[in-house]
């Protein structure tokens, strides 16, 4: 049986940055220097005493390839216990694997880690986590540092294109942090180029690998979850479905990780963040545009806009969404809400939006119900053309100035 071998990490310094680097290799294959890079001021927080960060980031890789792991050095004793006794047996069963064992030494090394971290993307989950942990009376739970990582979300297979996008998005994140006085910690990594797996099935491990590289900084870390507790299960579709298990098993003596947002729903999160002015000019949920702007047309933009509409909060976000586009396509958008709230796959996202419209006495118009019986891809204009008498359509076009009435030039 092949092994993944991880050597102990070292620090490599450059002018403004520092890297935590460890040599890794799968038996007899070429070695790979995997690194986590931080700004110079965070060098003192990089952990050379354990290989925790490397082990955790690579869990999906050695699960996929059914490898055992040999670490030529130490990992956290708490991490070892949790992996061996809980996470690995469950992953072995869930992914139908035979191996996943670790050969290593363990340590109880303790740092004085006082920082409290959470990621910032300016999306719903990260804003919810940020505002939930601000100005708490028990101040040790207040977020002290926001984080932004190049760990797969800007391109799951890494490379220069992903790094370029990471830097492009980072500019926006830096502006948000500067404007609102938050400390920002960035981590760049070349793990993506080694792992070469889908982001969806690996992202929790990649993110928490970056967090554990900085265990001397983070005593607590809030991992913003995008899934509901009710959906918890081990499935190869996405590691997000068992985040509640991951955060427990990947915490160490030094860094306690929490699954923030698991206790509520996306609509409740949107309702919560819409109380905070900081989100009005910064909310960014788009999955279509890479340049930091919401397109206002993709499924995620539309879903977020409908949720805000159902809560009577959409106007507040006029600077980040195209409300003219929304207004113009309202009938089609409303019919999509009704259709999706009945759809087996989509209702987990839309049913609560549909009910919130009802709760807030915002009536979805009757034509939207009529249109919702047609499949989503059927063009509304075509349906209207078929249903309405030609005379009515002509009269409407004349009224709107689309057609002249035959009397004027
Ligand atoms: Zn979009």
What are the pLDDT tens digits along the chain (409 aa)? 789 999 999 999 999 999 999 999 998 889 999 999 999 999 999 999 999 999 999 999 999 999 999 999 999 999 999 999 999 999 999 999 988 999 999 999 999 999 999 999 999 999 999 999 999 999 999 999 999 999 988 888 888 988 998 999 999 999 999 999 999 999 999 999 999 999 999 999 999 999 999 999 999 999 998 888 988 999 888 999 999 999 999 999 999 999 999 999 999 999 999 999 999 999 999 988 666 789 999 999 999 999 999 999 999 999 999 999 999 999 999 999 999 999 888 888 899 999 999 999 888 989 888 888 887 755 555 555 555 556 555 555 555 444 443 333 3
CA of 173 to the centre of ligand 1 (A): 18
d(CA 18, CA 184): 16
Question: Which among 266, 300, 328 is the end of a domain?
Answer: 266
- The total domain count for the chain is 4
CA of 290 to the centre of ligand 1 (A): 9
Does 131 lie in the same domain as 77? no
CA of 292 to the centre of ligand 1 (A): 10
Q: What is the pTM of this model?
A: 0.88
CA of 351 to the centre of ligand 1 (A): 21
When computed from its CA atoms, the radius of gyration of the chain, rounded to whole angstroms, is: 25
87, part of any domain = yes
d(CA 392, CA 262): 51
CA of 287 to the centre of ligand 1 (A): 5
CA of 256 to the centre of ligand 1 (A): 34
Does 246 lie in the same domain as 186? yes
Q: Tell me which residue has tokens 């309202």.
A: 330
Does 202 lie in the same domain as 212? yes
Question: Which among 86, 107, 128 is the end of a domain?
Answer: 107
Does 55 lie in the same domain as 78? yes
Does 243 lie in the same domain as 331? no
d(CA 151, CA 157): 9
CA of 306 to the centre of ligand 1 (A): 13
Does 229 lie in the same domain as 123? yes
* CB burial of residue 16 (10 Å; 0-12, 13-18, 19+): exposed
Does 373 lie in the same domain as 394? no
Per the structure, the complete domain to which residue 49 belongs is given by 3-107
Does 253 lie in the same domain as 161? yes
> In this structure, what are the phi and psi dihedrals at residue 153, rounded to the nearest 5 degrees?
-80, -10
CA of 132 to the centre of ligand 1 (A): 25
277, part of any domain = no
């Amino acid at each position: 049986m092949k092994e993944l071998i991880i050597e102990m990490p070292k620090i490599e310094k450059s002018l403004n940055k520092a890297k935590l680097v460890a040599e890794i290799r799968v038996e007899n294959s070429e070695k790979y220097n995997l690194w986590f890079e931080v700004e110079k001021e965070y060098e003192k927080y990089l952990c050379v005493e354990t290989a925790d960060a490397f082990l955790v980031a690579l869990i999906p890789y050695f699960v996929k390839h059914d490898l055992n792991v040999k670490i030529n050095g130490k990992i956290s004793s708490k991490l070892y216990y949790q992996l061996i006794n809980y996470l690995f047996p469950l992953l072995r069963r869930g992914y139908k694997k035979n191996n996943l064992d670790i050969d290593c030494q363990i340590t109880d090394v303790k740092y004085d880690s006082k920082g409290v971290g959470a990621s910032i993307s300016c999306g719903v989950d990260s804003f919810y986590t940020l505002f939930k942990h601000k100005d708490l009376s028990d101040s040790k739970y207040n977020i002290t540092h926001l984080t932004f990582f190049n760990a797969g979300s800007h391109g799951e297979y890494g490379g220069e294109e992903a790094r370029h996008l990471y830097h492009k998005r980072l500019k926006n994140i830096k502006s948000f942090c500067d404007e609102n006085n938050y400390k920002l910690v960035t981590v760049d990594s070349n793990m993506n180029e080694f792992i070469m797996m889908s982001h969806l099935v690996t992202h929790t491990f990649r993110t928490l690998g970056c967090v554990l590289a900085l265990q001397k900084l983070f005593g607590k870390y809030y991992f913003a979850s995008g899934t509901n507790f009710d959906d918890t299960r081990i499935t190869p579709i996405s590691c997000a479905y068992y985040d509640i298990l991951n955060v427990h098993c990947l915490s160490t003596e030094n860094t306690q990780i929490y699954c923030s947002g698991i206790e509520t729903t996306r609509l409740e999160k949107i309702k919560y963040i819409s109380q905070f002015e900081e989100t009005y000019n910064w909310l960014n949920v788009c999955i279509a545009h890479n340049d930091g702007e919401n397109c206002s047309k993709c499924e995620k933009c539309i879903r977020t806009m409908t949720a805000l509409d159902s809560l009577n909060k959409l106007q507040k976000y006029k600077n980040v969404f195209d409300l003219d586009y929304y207004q113009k396509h309202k009938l089609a958008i409303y019919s999509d809400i009704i259709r999706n709230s009945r759809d087996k796959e989509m209702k987990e996202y839309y049913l609560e939006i549909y009910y919130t419209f009802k709760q807030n006495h915002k009536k979805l118009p009757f034509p939207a119900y009529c249109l919702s019986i047609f499949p989503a891809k059927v063009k509304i204009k075509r349906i209207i053309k078929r249903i309405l008498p030609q005379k009515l359509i002509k009269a409407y076009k004349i009224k709107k100035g689309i057609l002249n009435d035959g009397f004027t030039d």
